[in-house]
Structure 1
Amino acid sequence: MTQSAAAPAAEKPAPAAPPPRKPALGLRLDVRTLSLLGVLAILVLVGGVTKPDEFLAVSNLQLVLTQASVIGVVTVGMTLVIISGGIDLSVGAIVALASVWATTVATQEFGFTGVLFTAVLVGVGCGLVNGVLIAYGRMVPFIATLAMLASARGLALQITDGSTQVVTIPEILDLGVKDAYVLGVPPLVIVFVVVVVIGWLLLNRTTFGRRTVAIGGNAEAARLAGIDVRRQRLYLYLLSGLCCGIAAFMLIILSGSGQNTNGNLYELDAIAAAIIGGTLLSGGRGTITGSVLGVLIFTTITNIFALNNLETATQQIAKGAIIVAAVLIQRRTAHE
């Protein structure tokens, strides 16, 4: 008996799936971090060449890190807000208000705890007002925080009447002397490191961080996915206010006083550091690590200019050029 049909031809094996590629975004972030480290290394080299004895001195490096710590804490909160698609122009004014409110004679009567609690409470309270206005009052973040900037600065001036409020609590003043350093590290730097680690964990290892990135990328899509966008934004401005309160207390330790001029232009420095670190002003992308490197770069530039007796105007021009370059790089990588 013959076969009525030919045997079907053997099927060719399906081609193997290509190995998964590393996301381009992750690669760009790694390159950006390495680039920032390279810029920081170049600045250290410039400082070491121009003023080797002064710049490379341990006391000067401690000073750079201490100065970076105060604005760095503010930048951590600012970075989270910008990643969510918001902005906070009031951080410097909140730092000023918290510092002067915490150093009044009435507050200092409660000692170390009273000053710390007041600074943090004022910061969180201002953040709460910002958050409520933006999240539930549907105000544009730029307008709401601009109003807080004016109000907080005005209230700080009214409290101090233009004078400096000197701190008389030994426990606070002692934290600013070298005897308080831990293995050569100033206490303010330790606080900064703790805040950075907590901020990094929040952004990269928690649902809170994923929700922050989601609402910054597309708030409506995040809402449809079940995220309470308004509550998340409220939490973010509360965190920003908390960071301002902590920074205000650090500034009190550093200067031994409270002044209505404290935190001047902190909002610009924090935003600039976040942009340098790769945070998109439109939201949806950013890193705490990059923002910290941005703070260190700006603080190092300021220190080098001061040691070389260069004009402040030239320093501001250099910072502006760096910001423009960072934004142009962002626009280029965003379209790749």
Structure 2
Amino acid sequence: MTQPAPSAQQGGPGAGPPLELGKDDPGPAAPGGTRLFRPDLRTLALLGVLAALILVGGITRPDEFLATTNLQLVLVQSSVIGVVTVGMTFVIMSGGIDLSVGAIVALASVWATTVATQDFGFAGILLTAVLVGLGCGLVNGVLIAYGQMVPFIATLAMMVSARGLALLITDGNTQIVTVESVLDLGSRSSYVLGIPPLVMVFALVTVVGWLVLNRTTFGRRTVAVGGNAEAARLAGIDVRRQRLYLYLLSGLCCGIAAFLLVVLSGSGQNTNGNLYELDAIAAAIIGGTLLTGGRGTVVGSVLGVLIFTTITNIFALNNLQSDVQQIAKGAIIVVAVLVQRRSAQHTT
């Protein structure tokens, strides 16, 4: 008895790009398509939560929270983890995970701030941070895509190794940046129309990430691999190569974030990027990215970052303990996961 040929919706050999079929479909495939021009209920809900937090901050600490300098601070603090989250969103959408992003940020920041690197000036620091990020992403990608290692294990090994190497390089000391052109980027004199350069970089990475996800075959392949890797393979997608590229992208984002952190702090430390992996995953989850892959948005992830950063800022201004902040963040993550599960049940 012959088996029926896979249908287009199943991603068979004769199927078109999986995401194209879901353009006008309100189901899971649609968020990876062009529907971002028409925000869905989740995006509107995230905007509502962010607006509510701004209202709370304005009521509890109107003079401090609504001050221009504080709003600029919130955006600057969102920039570093925001860039990491954009890369994490792509990885999770493919059905993977990257636990090493925080350690990669730490390693890239200390490698880029060694005395030997600083001798090459601004370009040397930036290039080193990016190359270290890409190198770590390459190792992760090769181990996962071609070594058939589970992403959790491979990136956990990278997390431990990168932290250890960062500690070895610094010997536990803080490496101070002496390159004036790098330090100037973090000063208020470098703001353009009141916008810090770090925020501009974050915005640029977000726009590029959105375009790549929604306007390129790379984005469609990412969603297809996350939705059904076997169907994607039958449709002609090189799944292993796609996964390699995704971890390279995550590493690149970590390298950029490391440079931004160096600009922000004026130093490199082996403790940089602590818990960034958890913050990035949490932001992506509440932004609507499924941990099982196949669905997610860059816009939602960025809103998740802004929500978490705003919560932290409000709690700090109201002198609330950090443990209360963590409890609030944990509650938000639980609610987001429950909403995801409910949405998935309605679409099946």
Q: TM-score, normalised by structure 1?
A: 0.93
| Partner residue, 2:295 | 285
| Partner residue, 2:335 | 325
Alignment of 1:140-151 (within 5 A): 140-151=150-161
Alignment partners' CA distance in 2, 1:31 and 1:114 = 45
| Partner residue, 1:13 | none
The structure number with the bigger radius of gyration is 1
Residue type matched to 2:47 in 1? L
The structure 1 residue matched to 2:79, chosen from 69, 74, 83, is 69
Identity of aligned residues (%): 80
Alignment of 1:88-99 (within 5 A): 88-99=98-109
Within the alignment, does 1:275 sit opposite 2:277 as a pair?
Answer: no
Alignment partners' CA distance in 1, 2:254 and 2:73 = 20
Within the alignment, does 1:41 sit opposite 2:41 as a pair?
Answer: no
**In the superposition, relative to structure 1, how do residues 189 and 50 fare at CA in structure 2: closer, same or farther (>3 Å)?**
same
| Partner residue, 1:308 | 318
The structure 2 residue matched to 1:165, chosen from 175, 181, 195, is 175
Alignment partners' CA distance in 2, 1:23 and 1:127 = 34
Aligned length: 316
Deviation at 1:190, TM superposition (A): 0.3
Residue type matched to 1:127 in 2? G
Alignment partners' CA distance in 2, 1:216 and 1:297 = 26
Within the alignment, does 1:23 sit opposite 2:25 as a pair?
Answer: yes
Alignment partners' CA distance in 2, 1:283 and 1:23 = 18
Alignment partners' CA distance in 1, 2:184 and 2:26 = 49
Alignment partners' CA distance in 2, 1:134 and 1:218 = 17
| Partner residue, 1:180 | 190
Deviation at 1:22, TM superposition (A): 5.5
Within the alignment, does 1:104 sit opposite 2:114 as a pair?
Answer: yes
Deviation at 1:51, TM superposition (A): 0.4
Alignment partners' CA distance in 1, 2:173 and 2:58 = 39
| Partner residue, 1:210 | 220
The structure 2 residue matched to 1:133, chosen from 124, 133, 143, is 143
Deviation at 1:24, TM superposition (A): 2.8
Deviation at 1:29, TM superposition (A): 6.4
Equivalent position SS for 1:155: helix
Runs (4+) of structure 1 exceeding 4 A deviation are: 26-29
Equivalent position SS for 1:65: helix
Deviations 1:238-257 (A, max 9, x none): 00000000000000000000
Deviations 1:53-97 (A, max 9, x none): 000000000000000010000000000000000000000000000
Deviations 1:247-305 (A, max 9, x none): 00000000000000000000000000000000000000000000000000000000001
Within the alignment, does 1:154 sit opposite 2:164 as a pair?
Answer: yes
| Partner residue, 1:83 | 93
Alignment partners' CA distance in 2, 1:127 and 1:24 = 33
Residue type matched to 2:26 in 1? A
Alignment partners' CA distance in 2, 1:306 and 1:152 = 31
Equivalent position SS for 1:335: helix
Alignment partners' CA distance in 2, 1:262 and 1:180 = 24
Within the alignment, does 1:235 sit opposite 2:237 as a pair?
Answer: no
Alignment partners' CA distance in 2, 1:194 and 1:116 = 16
Deviation at 1:335, TM superposition (A): 1.1
Which ranges in structure 1 are unaligned for 5 or more consecutive residues? 1-20
The structure 1 residue matched to 2:209, chosen from 192, 195, 199, is 199
Alignment partners' CA distance in 1, 2:82 and 2:330 = 19
Alignment partners' CA distance in 2, 1:103 and 1:263 = 15
Q: TM-score, normalised by structure 2?
A: 0.90
Alignment partners' CA distance in 2, 1:169 and 1:34 = 43
Deviations 1:300-331 (A, max 9, x none): 00000110110000000000000000000000
| Partner residue, 2:18 | none
| Partner residue, 1:7 | none
Deviation at 1:23, TM superposition (A): 2.8
CA RMSD of aligned residues (A): 1.2
Alignment partners' CA distance in 1, 2:221 and 2:24 = 23
